[in-house]
A and B are shown apart, each in its own frame.
Chain A
Amino acid sequence: MKTIEKAKLDSLFAQLAQNYSLLVPVDYNGLTQFAPYSQVQEGVSQLYLDGNVTVSPKTAYLPQSEAMYKFRAQGKKLAIEEMAGLDKQQVLFGVRHCDTKAIQCLDKVFLDEKFEDPQYKNKREQNIVFSLACNNPKATCFCESMGLDRAHAEASVADVQVYDFGDSFGFEAISDKGKACLDKLTGLGETASKLPDQKPQTLKFDVAGLPEKLKDMFEDPIWDEYSFKCLNCGTCSYICPTCHCFDINNKIRGEVGVKLRTWDSCMFNEYTLMAGGHQPRAGKKERVRNRFLHKLQYFNEKHDMSLCVGCGRCVAKCPVNVDITKFIRQVIG
């Protein structure tokens, strides 16, 4: 395993930044998210490795607001131009395992057999993920309950596995992309140290048979109980690493414009609002139910995997503490 002392992390980043676009987890004025390393260098943001970031790294695959193509009215005609993809490979340093699993979920949606989303695909190909194993789970983390391996990142997504040894980081290539990237790095040490100890997760529960159980619970009174306090804000969807719903808009300035893809949330009124004004999911109950069932049942039925990866963001950030883990535990009984 290649290693580097934490004190020399800057030089590692400098090397990566030379060859790649480099995204690192940062604290930007109180908001933790992935951002260009240059922000850290400029002092705009501080490197944040104490826990997972609030806004998940799905932003590097599905930005909150993304131009799909540009257009220009020329007389009565419209000229359209595709967006250029990432021109350079991009390293995401410090993506947590739950978030690698989340990207795998997104793959199911955006890299479907029938249709591959070109913009997503471009980013997927260009991104090199350094996935950092979590030694100290937060009280809201429950990835293990959702079947994740805290020592090994999702192999189809992560390119380099990173371990935190206290004073140093260790690196193991997972993919060829990752290996090529590691090979380019100089000044790394080499140890065969054993994997670091991982503190146990406190939030643990059994999810066996959950999708099946939920199948019969569409009209269960539990939804009233859980939806009561929901504010119908978009916090959970926007910070969730797997939520991927989007809306398509135009941004027009006179004769030119771009087609924009922006995140949307199933919590919002306009999400299911139909052209004639009909709203099939009129209230909190319908929306909370849809979100939970999509995470825990529908996605399972379609892709044989849960759309909840146990990152715990919504548990931590929901303004009114609508707790999906409590819900699961109550359903499982």
Chain B
Amino acid sequence: MSNNSVENFEPKILVFACNWCTYAGADLAGTSRLQYPPNVRVLRVPCSCRVNPQFVIRAFQRGIDGVLVAGCHPGDCHYTTGNYYTRRRFLLITRMMEYMGIDPKRFHTRWISGAEGPKFQQVVTEMIEEVKAIGPNDKLRDDMKVEVKAVETNE
């Protein structure tokens, strides 16, 4: 279904969500039936500080269109200090990704608490819309289009 033509481009967005806040916030969005476009996939991590920036780069290499790293608000970390490290790391990595030519619209870090179901809905909805507008990501991509195509047409 993923279509790389810009008109009906449906981006895929990976959300790294901390178990205690953002994942719960996404659950709350669910239990509250807050609708958002189905372009996001949530990956659960114990804490946003578990998210290695290398995971983010990897996702871009493999062709993701946008990445959201989300955790508890600073001060609310289940592990007390995890998200302070997240903040330091991702302040830097956000800038580095932009420096490498990745459109900053594709990569965000946000604090979304377990009570912020509506914020989860809003953040992902906005991000999907933004990424939709700028089209598929071709930067940093290590795709195998050629190889795959060859195998596919051979079937």
The SS class assigned to the B binding surface is helix
The answer to whether B154 and A256 touch across the interface, beta carbons within 8 angstroms, is no
The answer to whether A253 and B151 touch across the interface, beta carbons within 8 angstroms, is no
Least distance between A248 CB and chain B CB atoms (Å): 16
The answer to whether B151 and A72 touch across the interface, beta carbons within 8 angstroms, is yes
The answer to whether A81 and B148 touch across the interface, beta carbons within 8 angstroms, is no
Q: Tell me whether B1 is interfacial, beta carbon within 8 Å.
A: no
Q: Tell me whether B147 is interfacial, beta carbon within 8 Å.
A: yes
The answer to whether A253 and B148 touch across the interface, beta carbons within 8 angstroms, is yes
Q: Tell me whether A213 is interfacial, beta carbon within 8 Å.
A: no
* Cα of A190 to Cα of B3 in the assembled complex, Å: 58
Question: Size of chain A's interface in residues, with CB distance under 8 A?
Answer: 11
The SS class assigned to the A binding surface is strand
Which residues 101-155 of B sit at the A interface, judged by CB distance below 8 A? 143-144, 147-148, 150-152, 154-155
The answer to whether B144 and A251 touch across the interface, beta carbons within 8 angstroms, is yes
Interface readout for B73-100 with A: 1 if CB under 8 Å, 0 if not? 0000000000000000000000000000
Q: Tell me whether A79 is interfacial, beta carbon within 8 Å.
A: yes
Q: Tell me whether B62 is interfacial, beta carbon within 8 Å.
A: yes
Closest to A251 in B: B144
Least distance between A113 CB and chain B CB atoms (Å): 33
The answer to whether A253 and B62 touch across the interface, beta carbons within 8 angstroms, is yes
The answer to whether B151 and A70 touch across the interface, beta carbons within 8 angstroms, is yes
Which residues 58-99 of A sit at the B interface, judged by CB distance below 8 A? 67, 70-72, 79, 81
Interface readout for B17-28 with A: 1 if CB under 8 Å, 0 if not? 000000000000
* Cα of A251 to Cα of B142 in the assembled complex, Å: 11
Which residues 236-271 of A sit at the B interface, judged by CB distance below 8 A? 251, 253, 256-258
Least distance between A256 CB and chain B CB atoms (Å): 5
* Cα of A81 to Cα of B151 in the assembled complex, Å: 7
List the A side residues contacting B154 at CB < 8 Å: 79, 81
The answer to whether B62 and A79 touch across the interface, beta carbons within 8 angstroms, is no
List the A side residues contacting B147 at CB < 8 Å: 67, 70, 256, 258
Least distance between A234 CB and chain B CB atoms (Å): 21
The answer to whether B151 and A79 touch across the interface, beta carbons within 8 angstroms, is yes
List the A side residues contacting B62 at CB < 8 Å: 253
The 7 closest A-B pairs by CB, nearest first: A72-B151, A256-B148, A70-B151, A258-B147, A256-B151, A253-B144, A70-B147
**Chain B residues near A (Cβ < 8 Å):** 62, 143-144, 147-148, 150-152, 154-155
**Chain A residues near B (Cβ < 8 Å):** 67, 70-72, 79, 81, 251, 253, 256-258
Interchain Cβ contacts under 8 Å between A and B, 12 examples = A72-B152, A72-B155, A79-B155, A81-B150, A81-B151, A251-B144, A253-B144, A253-B148, A256-B147, A256-B152, A258-B144, A258-B147
